[in-house]
Amino acid sequence: MSQSYQEAEYEFDDFDSAMGDDESVALTPLAVPKAKFMLTPHLAPYMPQRWMARSKNISGKMAEDTIHTGLATELNREDMKDHMTRLMLDGRLTFAELEKEPLNALDLGTGTGKWAMEFAEENAGCRVLAVDLSPVQPNFTPPNLEFQVDDIEADWTYKEDSFDYIHIRYMAVAVRDWQQLLERCYSTLRPGGTIEIIDMDLNYTSDDGTVLPENRLLVFMNQLTSASTIRGVNMKIVPEMPSKLQEIGYGNIRFQCPKLPIGWWPKDPRTKEIGLYQYTQFLDALQGIAMGAFIKILGWTTNQVEAMLVGVREDCKNQKIHGYWRNYFVSAQKL
């Protein structure tokens, strides 16, 4: 029996009707202490046996990844994005309204592991398993947290009805088969268990017409979407998540999709701060994304990419352009 879904009743703060153009705004300090991370590229002796069997496939998939570089700067950017997301959640770790502390939680695409560590610390009675392709290991972890290097789109060995909560964040740029992944999550969740998906809808737009068709960031995003399609990734899938969950059989589906500005043009202080973090982390990622997607997939030259990025950066910095994406927060239950 199909279940209906609804947009969450409460609203995130939206933009003030007046736009701010003050260029002197600075990022505020992180409210949550930032964990230190180290790259550990030679982890094979310490990996589960199935990591050894899959290591060649995983290495190949990491080489194909045109979004995540795995470098220290990328890890810092991921932590910045994590903090930006927490600002949108008013300091909470989850959008899902968990009625009680989960016993077993699964974090798919954990990245730096920052969210998983904070969730494990806040839920000391919960066993947290955090999975990612990249062998990036924090130098400290809570005792109830386990990191696992694996490909979440390879065959699963998790038992049915084994997790109370599954968390997936910013994986739309990487997952090829969302139908399969969400069905596996449904099978693996216990009855009453919750899935949460947080991701960006990368449809760049504005409400006041300041994002024109020739906007160079908009052109860049369209080209990136084309490159991702060639790679087998649908970057436009995020707005479809609520309906996909419904089709699979999830119930109690809630979602919210607040605007995510790029830059400091919103007047509201909190939204301005969110926009600053998005501006900073996006520009930090820009060259790595472009070099991977445009050269490896679309066959551009380095000079072509560099020339395009000059224009993209200029349009991002222009705060008379009131452009934004939307950030989707979705939760659902296995009934």
Instruction: Write the CA distances from 246 to 4, 199, 316, integer angstroms.
Output: 7, 18, 36
Q: 60-97, pLDDT tens digit by residue?
A: 443 444 444 445 567 778 888 999 999 999 999 999 99
Q: How far apart are the first and last CA of the chain?
A: 11
- C-alpha–C-alpha distance, residues 48 and 6, integer Å: 41
The confidence score (pLDDT) of residue 310 equals 97
Whether residue 137 is predicted with pLDDT greater than 70 in this model: the reply is: no
CATH number, domain with residue 167: 3.40.50.150
Region 206-232: mean pLDDT is 97
The larger pLDDT score, comparing residue 249 to residue 63, is at 249
Region 202-217: mean pLDDT is 98
Structural tokens at position 197: 């998906």
Where does the chain show beta strands of DSSP type E? 5-7, 37-39, 104-108, 127-132, 136-138, 145-149, 163-169, 189-205, 251-256, 259-261, 324-333
The larger pLDDT score, comparing residue 121 to residue 30, is at 121
Running DSSP on this structure, what letter comes out for residue 173? T
Q: 139-179, pLDDT tens digit by residue?
A: 688 999 999 989 999 999 999 999 999 999 999 999 999 99
- 């502390």: which residue's tokens? 101
Instruction: Report the sign of the C-alpha dihedral through residues 183, 188, 192, 194, in that order.
Output: negative
Region 181-205: mean pLDDT is 98
The confidence score (pLDDT) of residue 77 equals 84
Domain that holds residue 155: 5-333
Q: 264-314, pLDDT tens digit by residue?
A: 999 999 999 999 999 999 999 999 999 989 999 999 999 999 999 999 999
Q: 307-333, pLDDT tens digit by residue?
A: 999 999 999 999 999 999 999 999 999
**Total domains present in the chain:** 1
* 102: confidence class by pLDDT, cuts 50, 70, 90: very high
User: At 29, which amino acid appears?
Assistant: P
The confidence score (pLDDT) of residue 5 equals 47
Q: What is the pTM of this model?
A: 0.81
Q: What is the mean pLDDT of the chain?
A: 82
